[in-house]
């Protein structure tokens, strides 16, 4: 294929880097040898299922390097300080040093955990993100956010640590179960709600093609959704302003995930329910119509994403939102849709308004 013909979008920020789209795993080594200096040792961090599917393909292009592969168990619970400590011990046994390059091969959990490891190991070593899930390809691998969880909340311990590159091979999506596809669709639909009405209509019009995994439609979906993330991150790398809009649905969703201890609800499901709660809150504040809320609910529903959750205590969920990273001076800062294709940062949401939004999505 060759470096000159690889499709890419550049993240133009303080630490710029390319997001490559539709590039084979086997060709990452060619990029490293031509663009990244002083690499002798590579540490691939992944989980067992992804390793079995894709590690050999990735290593085909890395024959010129000393390569170690470390696997961690799957699941959001693995984003912990305990797992980070175990990963550090294993890395030291592999001879990882300041010149080592880390490759995060996997979905959002691996990207967050391996990225946070790279950001703190010996005060920071180089990182390449190789996302293998739809969620990671359209969202979590782009933007340099890395983190682990804390009992008080999701992603409480983290940093901004941009990779040297994001390497996206669309063929890794072929193995995804639909439950994993849903996680990515929630983030992609979120991107459409934030900044791209045409993309929202694309999801409405391409239901069958997306469900049937039409390759050209999936490629367009990933590319257009990634472009929203890249544009936003390029304007505000460290979330001092407009980047916060990418958190639409996440204040509600993260509270739900934490309250349920990451069992019984996936990240995408939490975001989907969170988007609906934010939409109800936006409607109550006059930012959108109930017809638009219904349109959002319908789109999420046709892709199998939930719009309600059973058996939760709205007061407990409200309490969980106190640890949201966007909060300032005790005030809850929320991202709300303003119609479809536009969002705003709201700093004046009262607890009673947020509680009413939670009640709308608890069945």
Residues labelled as active-site residues = 123, 145, 187, 229, 239, 243, 247, 250, 254, 267
What CA dihedral angle connects 74, 207, 273 and 310, to 10 degrees?
A: -90
Give the DSSP H or E segment for 127: strand 126-131
Please, what's the b/e burial string for 40-69 (b: 16 or more CB within 10 A of its CB; e: otherwise)? ebbbbbbbeebbeebbeebbebbeebebbb
**What is the distance between the alpha carbons of residues 51 and 45, in angstroms, rounded to a whole number?**
9
Longest dimension (CA), the chain: 60
Q: Phi/psi of residue 168, each to 5°? A: -110, 115
Helix (H) and strand (E) counts in the chain: 15, 11
Q: Phi/psi of residue 144, each to 5°? A: 80, 10
Give the three-state DSSP class for 117.
helix
Partner residues linked to 337 by β-bridges: 343
* Number of Cα atoms under 13 Å in the Cβ half of residue 9: 21
Question: What Cα–Cα distance (Å) separates residue 143 from each residue in 149, 162, 244, 311?
Answer: 18, 6, 12, 35
Give the DSSP H or E segment for 81: helix 81-93
If phi over 0 gives left and psi between -120 and 50 gives alpha, with beta otherwise, what is residue 356? alpha
Give the DSSP H or E segment for 253: helix 250-259
Candidates 149, 124, 172, 163; CA nearest to 24 is 172
Question: What Cα–Cα distance (Å) separates residue 16 from each residue in 8, 23, 96, 132, 206?
Answer: 13, 19, 25, 22, 33
């Amino acid at each position: 294929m060759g470096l000159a013909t690889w499709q890419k979008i550049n993240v133009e920020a303080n630490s710029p880097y390319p997001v490559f789209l539709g590039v084979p795993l086997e060709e990452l080594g060619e990029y490293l040898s031509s663009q990244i200096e002083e690499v002798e040792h590579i540490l691939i961090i992944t989980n067992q299922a992804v390793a079995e599917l894709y590690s050999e393909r990735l290593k085909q292009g890395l024959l010129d390097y000393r390569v170690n592969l470390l696997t961690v168990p799957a699941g959001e619970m693995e984003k912990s300080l305990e797992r980070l400590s175990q990963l550090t011990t294993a890395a030291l046994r592999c001879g990882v040093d300041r010149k080592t390059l880390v490759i995060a091969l996997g979905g959002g959990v691996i990207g967050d955990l391996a990225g946070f490891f790279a950001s703190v190991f010996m005060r920071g070593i180089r990182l390449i993100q190789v996302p293998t899930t739809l969620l990671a390809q359209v969202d979590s691998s782009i933007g340099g956010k890395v983190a682990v969880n804390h009992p008080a909340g999701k992603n409480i311990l983290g940093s901004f640590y941009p990779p040297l590159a994001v390497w996206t091979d669309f063929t890794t999506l072929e193995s995804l179960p639909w439950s994993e596809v849903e996680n990515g669709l929630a983030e992609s639909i979120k991107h459409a709600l934030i900044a791209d009405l045409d993309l929202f209509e694309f999801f409405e019009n391409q239901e069958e093609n997306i469900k049937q995994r039409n390759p050209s439609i999936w490629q367009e979906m990933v590319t257009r959704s990634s472009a929203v993330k890249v544009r936003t991150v390029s304007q505000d790398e460290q979330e001092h302003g407009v980047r916060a809009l990418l958190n639409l649905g996440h204040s509600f969703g993260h509270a739900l995930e934490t309250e349920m201890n990451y069992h019984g609800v996936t990240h995408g499901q939490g975001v989907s329910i969170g988007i609906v709660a934010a939409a109800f809150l936006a409607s109550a504040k006059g930012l959108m119509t109930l017809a638009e809320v219904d349109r959002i609910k319908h789109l999420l529903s046709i892709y199998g994403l939930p719009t309600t959750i059973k058996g939760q205590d709205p007061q407990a969920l409200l309490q969980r939102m106190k640890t949201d990273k966007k909060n300032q001076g005790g005030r809850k800062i929320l991202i709300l849709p303003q119609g479809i294709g536009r969002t705003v940062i709201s700093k004046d949401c009262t607890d009673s308004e947020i509680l009413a939004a939670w009640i709308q999505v608890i069945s």
